[in-house]
A = this chain, B = another copy of it.
Amino acid sequence: MKTKTMIVLIVALSASAIPTASADEGMWLLTNPPRQQLQSRYGFTFSQQWLEHMQKSAVRFTGASGSLISPSGLVLTNHHVGRSAIGKLSSAEHDFIKNGFYAKSLDDELKCTDLTLDTLWSIKDVTKRIKSAATGDMTLSQANTARRQMMSAIEQESQDETGLLSQVVTLYNGGQYHLYSYKRYTDVRLVFAPEQQIAAFGGDIDNFEYPRYCADFSIFRIYEDGKPLKNEHYLRWSDTGAAENELAFIFGHPGRTSRLETVAQLEFTRDTSMPFDMAWLFRREVELQAFMGRSAEYNRIGQTRIKGVANGRKARVGMMGGLLDPELMRRKRDDEQRLRASFEGTSSADNPWDRVARAMQAYTSFYRQQAAINGVFRGGLTGYAMTLVRMAQELPKPSSERLREYRDTALPRIHQRLNSTAPIYDALEVDSLTSALIGLAWTYGADHPVVQTALGGRSPRARAEQLILGSSLKDVQVRRTLADGGWAAIEASDDPLIMLARSLESHTRELRTRYEDEVQAVQRQAYAQIAAARFALDGDSVYPDATGTLRLSYGPIADWEEMGKKIPSFTNIGGLYERAELRKGEQEFILPESWIKARSRLDPATPMNFICKGDVIGGNSGSPIVNAKGEVIGLVFDGNIHMLVGRYAYDERTNRTIAVDARLIKSALKNVYGTTRIINEINDASKTP
């Protein structure tokens, strides 16, 4: 198969007329799409029908995205989105994560244990009703409650009326409220999954990197009444695939952005919190590697932990790269200046930007200490100890006066955790606690009373051994007894971890209270004002921060520059085999047997992954990428490292979405896996007008 160019839309680099959103920025509401930008920049126009078709073909996974690709409920998403469901269908005998899965017939499709999918059926603006719920004589908190109650009422009303799952979405931090109604599907079956090795080829090493070579897709089917869904809306497959510079559209569910954050808060993140957190993660990653190097067993028990740490570290590296870009900060400052104008003349006490700045100043004075002491109680056993001590203190209070996580409604979760029989590994617990104690000493200074209490006269390592090996909190029964025994049991306990938690509880509580009062409360109020100021000024001419709901992003398929060289937009199957050869011997780069055998049947020139400018963030995984005709040309599965700063701002020079090319999916289904049935279904679906 050769890459042919069908419609290459010429990229007109004229400046956009939008005040703050530059270039191909934005996760746009489908109720307010960037018509003007698309027309002026790309000469692209679309009908309301086109948009509705896209909306109803998009599928919401929990925290992720997908799309319908046949009139019989076939759903395309990433392998990593479907991974948990695939894992739950696997057994020691049938490891579908490792070996992949293909249902040769409809009857072979495997029902997922708890996978729920939604399609967005209608959107309604309910701003007026919700805003009117709060009247001028209410306090801030009363107004909040009134609005919450109105939201619930509207949701209930809609659900009763339509039978659809109904959720009110708060946009622009309260500038608008929309009612989203979903068709919810609970019978979802696994149709196809490739082997994890090819879906996540390059593993954690390649995560957030580009060029990439991942077949990160999986296929499910929605059933209704025990039969494949009969759906009117679904995406056709492009015959020709994507081309360089072609305008591409992404429909998906970006989870959360914080693009309204003030410069003061961004500076706090850049100069204080993130450097501290990153230093902690860098250290932990190296420590865990050393730990895992000790034995095959340690290597096994450290896997999950190090993945989380490495992922968190990588995400922050990307964000930090952006935060340290003076140009990004300049743009933020300019935008803030513009908004601040509307508060001109207000006293600093009333100015929300100044209030956030002061809160950040306060937070700077104790952020590191709070993070460090919380680190000590984030371990498996130390976590149990602190939970037990806190629970004994909180339960005697009325529910509404307790710390949030100990209120009556939250207690089942606490008990579930305390009753967990998930394995606890002494060696890993000791390693984590040693690390946390070192971090504590570095942050407070080794002679600080908190550190002296924590160390109890020993070195971090010796103390961690003493505490972990000497504790009996590994035993569920011991935890139960302490939980049921109330404060008397906690006070009488000589378990070394309970004693540690007891002696440091008031200190950690004090820091938490300071955070809630001096930082969080100020932020909540101030950001509501800032959002209102922006909304008053720009209305909905800018997109709202992501909320995990359906959005449209757009931008051409385009390379970016690094080291003075262009990083090409497309990779191909030939490159996959080259990379596997180059990285021979590394676990992350081992090709599955199926791909080794299929090599002669595959055209090395077939595009594998590509990049485009569309603005995405976590939650967009599995989003379909379509061309101007609304045909599938790719599948979002990642962003490059520069995409990560997208939480705070979009930079079109370097921010890129990474996608699986639709041609790769078809080629793999046909030439590697011989899944005739699926290929036919996709082809037939694409033929229907």
Chain A interface category by residue count:
35 or more
Stretch touching chain B among A243-251, A290-298, A409-417, A593-601: A290-298
Which listed residue (B267, B295, B326, B459) contacts A452, Cβ 8 A?
A: B326
Tell me, in angstroms, the Cα distance from A460 to B314 when the chains sit together: 16
Q: Which residues of B contact A461 (CB under 8 A)?
A: 321
Is B465 within 8 A of A563, CB to CB?
yes
Q: Mark A265-284, 1 if CB is under 8 A from B, else 0.
A: 00100110001001100110
Query: How many copies, total?
Result: 2
In the bound assembly, the distance between CA atoms of A462 and B563 in angstroms comes to: 8
Closest beta carbon of chain B to A62's beta carbon, Å = 30
Partner of A563, one of B293, B427, B459, B587: B427
Quick check: B585 and A465 within 8 Å, CB to CB? Answer: no
Q: Identify the closest chain B residue to A320 (Cβ).
A: B438
A206: which B residues are within 8 A, CB to CB?
293
Name the one of B275, B321, B325, B465 contacting A442, with C-beta atoms under 8 angstroms: B275
* B-chain residues with CB within 8 Å of residue A544 when the two chains form the complex: none
Check: A445 CB closer than 8 A to any chain B CB.
yes
Within 8 A of B (CB), among A196-246: 205-206, 209
Task: List chain B residues, Cβ under 8 A from A313.
Answer: 286
Q: A554-583 CB contact bits vs B (8 Å, 1 = yes)?
A: 000000001110000000000000000011
Give the complex CA separation of A325 and B427 in angstroms.
20
Once bound together, how far apart are the Cα atoms of A462 and B326, in whole Å? Answer: 11
A587 vs B293: C-alpha distance when bound (angstroms): 12
Interchain CA distance A293-B445 in the complex, whole Å:
36
**Interface residue from B282, B446, B447, B459 paired with A321 (Cβ < 8 Å):** B459
Q: Are B582 and A585 in contact (CB under 8 A)?
A: no
Chain B contacts for A460, CB-based, 8 A: 321, 324
Complex: A129 Cα to B169 Cα, angstroms? 89
- Kindly identify which residue among B271, B282, B324, B445 contacts A455, using a CB–CB cutoff of 8 Å: B324
- Distance of A635 from chain B, by nearest CB (Å): 24
Set of chain B residues within 8 Å of A441, measured between Cβ atoms? 270-271, 324
Main secondary structure, interface of A, reads: helix
In the assembled complex, A542 has its CB within 8 A of some CB on chain B: no
Q: Do the beta carbons of B458 and A271 come within 8 Å of each other? A: no
Is there an interface contact between B279 and A458, defined as CB atoms closer than 8 Å?
A: no
* Set B270, B278, B457, B459: member contacting A322, Cβ < 8 A: B459
Residues in B with CB closer than 8 Å to A438 are 320, 324
Please determine whether B582 and A296 come into contact, CB atoms closer than 8 angstroms.
yes
**Quick one: given A278-B283, A282-B286, are A271 and B446 in contact (CB under 8 Å)?**
yes
Does A426 belong to the interface (CB within 8 Å)?
yes
Does A327 have its Cβ within 8 Å of any Cβ on chain B? yes
Q: CB-CB contacts of A83-118 with B at 8 A, as 1s and 0s?
A: 000000000000000000000000000000000000
Which chain B residue shows the least CB distance to A434?
B321
- Is there a chain B Cβ closer than 8 Å to A123's Cβ? no
Bound complex: CA A295 to CA B320 (Å)? 24
Chain B residues within 8 Å of A459, by CB = 321-322, 324-328
Q: Assess the B564–A326 pair: CB atoms within 8 A.
A: no
Decide: B458 and A327 in contact? CB cutoff 8 A: yes
Chain A residues 119-161 with CB under 8 Å of chain B are none
Q: Please, which residues of chain B bring their CB within 8 A of the CB of A452? A: 326
Residue among B267, B283, B322, B447 making CB contact with A282, cutoff 8 Å: B283
Is A52 part of the contact surface with B, judged by Cβ < 8 Å? Answer: no
| Interface assignment of A381: CB less than 8 Å from any CB of chain B | no
Known contacts A442-B271, A460-B321, A562-B465; is A583 also within 8 Å of B327 by CB?
no
CA distance A502 to B313 in the complex (A): 34
User: Would you call A356 an interface residue if the criterion is a C-beta within 8 Å of the partner chain's C-beta atoms?
Assistant: no
Interface status of A430 (Cβ within 8 A of chain B):
yes
Is A38 part of the contact surface with B, judged by Cβ < 8 Å? Answer: no
The residue in chain B whose Cβ has the minimal distance to the Cβ of A292 is: B205
State which residues 296-329 of A face B: CB under 8 Å.
Answer: 296, 313-314, 317, 320-329
A469: interface (CB < 8 Å): yes
User: How far, in whole Å, are A437 and B325 apart by their CA atoms in the complex?
Assistant: 11
A336 beta carbon closer than 8 Å to chain B: no
With A296-B583, A587-B585 in contact, is A326–B458 under 8 Å at CB?
yes
Q: A325 → chain B, closest Cβ, in Å?
A: 4
User: Which residue numbers of A lie inside 8 Å of B, CB to CB?
Assistant: 205-206, 209, 267, 270-271, 275, 278-279, 282-283, 285-286, 290, 293-296, 313-314, 317, 320-329, 426-427, 430, 437-438, 441-442, 445-447, 452, 455, 457-462, 465, 469, 562-564, 582-583, 585, 587
- A sample of 18 inter-chain contacts (CB < 8 A) reads A205-B290, A209-B294, A271-B446, A279-B282, A282-B282, A286-B286, A290-B317, A296-B583, A321-B460, A324-B446, A325-B462, A327-B458, A327-B459, A426-B563, A427-B563, A465-B563, A465-B564, A585-B587
* Supplied contacts A290-B317, A327-B458, 6 more A-B pairs, CB within 8 Å: A209-B294, A282-B283, A285-B286, A326-B459, A430-B563, A465-B563
